[in-house]
Chain A
């Protein structure tokens, strides 16, 4: 089941904040967040695991509500470099060789 991302698109001025949501109809083991710039491969941002563990970097944070089967990505004090398409990828179970199921993406444009 493909996760649902919202909003589809966001336009910000530099320094503004944004929240991107990712919801699933199934129980999740983990949620991954990636950013992709035009013509490039996706770049890892965050991973949130069932049980509260998370790994990430940069000035971006995220939350994972296991009960609601949803995750939110928080972009604060946005920079021009934050522009791109954000994808969440979800896993429904643990175990090796499991595949990620990707959302349709949220396009973010940060303007000066």
Chain B
């Protein structure tokens, strides 16, 4: 079945550091891939997505590229800010699926 494996946290970085959170997936068919973010005290919200191989999703300075050959969708940001402190979830869906399959989440803390 469809599943995602993401890098275990927590991750602590200094402000302006480079961020990578790894995500790999297993899926039948051609899933769409997503990163969701949960800021403290808020519900999960969509950060970015990619719907086919080699697509790059981007938002708020974050990027992730859909790599079919390595079944990966790693999240990157060149320079993190304190306000990026949150829990990040990788997710995927299959064609016609009614739901998303989520990873375990990675907590990021950015210190000034």
A and B pair up: no
